[in-house]
Structure 1
Amino acid sequence: MTHAPTLTLADIARRLDIDFQGDGDTLIRGLATLKEAGPDQIAFLANRAYLKDLAETRAAAVLLHPEHGKNCPVPQLPIDNPYLGYAQLSQMFDPLEASKQTGVHPTAVVGDNVTLGEGVEIQAHAVIDAGVVLGDRVVIGAGSVVGADSILGDDTRLHANVTVYHGVVIGKRAILHSGCVIGADGFGFAHDGARWHKIAQLGGVVLGDDVEVGSCSSIDRGALGDTLIGNDVKIDSQVQIAHNVRIGDHSALAGCVGIAGSTKVGKHCMLGGGVGLSGHLTIADGVQVTGMSLVTNSIHEPGVYSSGTGAMNNTQWRKNAVRFKQLDEIAKRLTRLEKSSRDSA
């Protein structure tokens, strides 16, 4: 069983590099919402919609913006960005961090010429193939597989049942969740008119530092060059990234995004859930595509882009669908009317 650490209020303020109000020796054993927190837990207020819960909170302390401090009935940790502070605070109470161990489990299989950094943990039934390099404090979860000649940077964690194929390079502090597959073959086939012929995928995958990949997501290896994922890219669960895609630093992809081969996504982009990008496109830096949109042409300017229609009453949708089929004929009629109007003028 994993247990989160116990910290004092003063410890937490010091780690966040902020001031605090209250008894610094108060013991804090976890986090909770304003409504549910008890006297040994910290709560946070990052959304004004929850101001109504502040007056009644029983938390040991609250992380909040200084402007809300006068309404706080308990000790407080004032901070300009409470949500960022909450993110940092959550790391302090992560039970996975508290339960880290070192060493190789007896049931794990480690191949020849493997390099293990200091403080590496390889859990039960994991397989590390020949020539792999694991940096310091890397954690390989139970049942995970790391293919030959792959390189994992310091402080990277593979949760249980992650598959990393051969020749994959993963940077520092990456997190790969259960079921994700890094470096499988891209979807490459040639057709001779009767059947498909497989194209060997000879490239690799390179993940930058601080990348996170959600459960059951796939990042395919390149056909010739590498598939490249930049630094601090966050990839949600059930995302498909095809061969030779490039994603710029600090971009984020929500669940069920699909990116076809050789598309380039810029830095600081955000793709909402269910977004699809066709192949061989270029998406500029700073582009946000809203959920369930299909992008079939390159986007060269930053901004927010959308496609598709939102849900509506089925009766109204059926009427609109009929009208959509009539648009071409309506456009032709309008053109004829405009021409007739010009001719008679």
Structure 2
Amino acid sequence: MELRPGLSLAAAAGIARARILRGDPDRLLRGLATLASAGPADLSFLSDSRYAAQARDSAAGAIIARESDASGLPAGCAVLASDDPYRAFATLARELEAMLRPASAPGCEPSAVVAPDARIGSGVSIGAQVVIGAGASIGKGASIGPGSVVGAGVSIGAGTVLHARVTIYDACTIGERCILHSGAVIGADGFGFASAEGRWEKIPQLGAVRIGNDVEIGANTTIDRGALDDTVIGDGCKLDNQIQIGHNVRIGEHSALAGCVGVAGSAVIGRRCRIGGGAGILGHLEICDDVTVSAMSLVTRTIRQPGFYTGVFPLMDNDDWERAAAVLRRLPELRTRVRRLERTDEDNTR
């Protein structure tokens, strides 16, 4: 990120809520960069000791770091001290992005189609070829990107941003200050079919999707509407790109799901959970608060205790898989028994 005409070290410290430990407060910074790519006019950060060697060799003009790490930084480098360098850098980057990329200008492009009874708040920006359905409500200062479709009866909160080609189906609710990236689809029918005489009969999906405040939805992520009850995404959740959320799923506040996660219908994920990329969660399971699931894991059972969980299993016949999974859960116990038997055998041979 390039800063023109520049930002003083003192101003950067103020925005990042950091303190100047070393360096001239009037020194101008022209960009934000990684430790490896930063130059003398750039600001970077050190938040993990694994990158200490990279920081020692960095050409950055200034680095945000913990005070305890300052002695290991290059002598000519200015240092901004913070107890949480990563968060401080994120705060600075977020503020600068807002300065460099101002919100879209209010107004409605001539090619947009807006229903006569749609309620549009003050300061709303509506891009080219947008369609806004009957009875929809768009909150103050929201931005609807080009080619987006907002269905009938949809409610979008103040300050929410829809990037290009976002689709919100009828009757869904999006909270305030949300960000929905291009290609996101909110409220398509859930995968509900009944098997009858060798054929599939569609089950109507009569619920909707309710998304809380301060939620971010990645590009091409899809969230299905509920069959009867609503699919619910809690306040502060962060969903990466290409995630599939099935019907009637409930995700608690401030949980984060990385790319390509799949959550099957009616699963419940608690608050502050972290689900690694490519993980799968089977339907009708519950995951309690404060659970981390590592990447590519498959959650096949309800999780009732907070913690860090990992599970990858080879594909096999389902009956064999279930028997093997039962044995796997007993491996710690079996290991203890084997060691006990080995010690007994050693004692008997002496």
- What is the TM-score with the length of structure 2 in the denominator? 0.83
Shift of the 248–282 alpha-carbon distance from structure 1 to 2, 3 Å rule, reads: same
2:328 equivalent to 1:306? no
Deviation per CA, 1:117-148, whole angstroms, max 9, x where unpaired?
Answer: 23322222222222222222212112111111
Give the drift of 1:62: 1.1
Q: Flag the 1:269–1:161 CA change in 2: closer, same or farther, 3 A.
A: same
Distance in 2 (CA, whole Å) between partners of 1:187 and 1:76 is 53
Query: How far apart, CA to CA, are the structure 2 residues paired with 1:61 and 1:127?
Result: 47
Q: Which amino acid aligns with 1:111?
A: A
Equivalent residue, structure 1, for 2:24: 23
Q: Which sits farther off after the overlay, 103-112 or 256-265?
A: 103-112
Distance 1:154 1:4, change over 3 A: farther
Q: Is the CA contact 2:2–2:31 (under 8 Å) kept in the aligned structure 1?
A: no
**1:94 counterpart SS class:** helix
What amino acid sits opposite 1:16 in the alignment?
A: A
Aligned with 2:128 (options 124, 130, 134): 124
In structure 2, stretches of 5+ residues that fail to align are 328-350
Residue aligning to 1:89: 92
Structure 1 stretches of 4+ moved >6 Å: none
Q: Which amino acid aligns with 1:49?
A: R
Name the CA distance, whole Å, in 2 between partners of 1:275 and 1:71: 38
Q: What's the CA shift for 1:230?
A: 0.6
Q: CA deviation at 1:301?
A: 1.5
Shift in Å at residue 191 of structure 1? 2.5
The question of whether the paired residues in 2 share the 8 Å contact of 1:3 and 1:98 is answered with no
- The amino acid that maps onto 2:50 is A
The CA distance in 2 between the partners of 1:182 and 1:204, in whole Å, is: 9
Instruction: Please state how far the C-alpha of 1:169 moved relative to its aligned partner.
Output: 0.9
**Quick check: 1:198 aligned with 2:202?**
yes
Contact 2:18 2:88 in 1 (8 A): no
In the TM superposition, what is the alpha-carbon distance from 1:29 to its structure 2 partner?
3.1
Taking the TM superposition and a 5 Å limit, the aligned residue runs for 1:316-335 are none
Distance change (3 Å), C-alpha of 1:149 and 1:7 = farther
Alignment partner, residue 14 of structure 1: 14
Instruction: Give the fraction of aligned pairs with identical amino acids, expressed as a percent.
Output: 46
Maintained 8 Å contact 2:32/2:44? yes
1:241 aligns with 2:242: no
C-alpha distance 119-61 of structure 1, shift in aligned 2 (>3 A): farther
Deviation at 1:93? 2.8
CA RMSD, Structure 1 to Structure 2 (Å) = 2.6
Report deviation, 1:228. 0.5
Report the Cα offset of residue 195 of structure 1: 2.2
1:138 to 1:113, Cα distance in 2 relative to 1, 3 A: same
Unaligned runs of 5+ in 1: 311-316, 332-345
Q: Does the CA contact (< 8 Å) of 1:30 and 1:93 recur in 2?
A: no
Distance 1:151 1:29, change over 3 A: farther
Matches for 1:66-105 after TM superposition, within 5 Å? 66-72=67-73, 73=75, 74-94=77-97, 98-102=101-105, 103-105=107-109
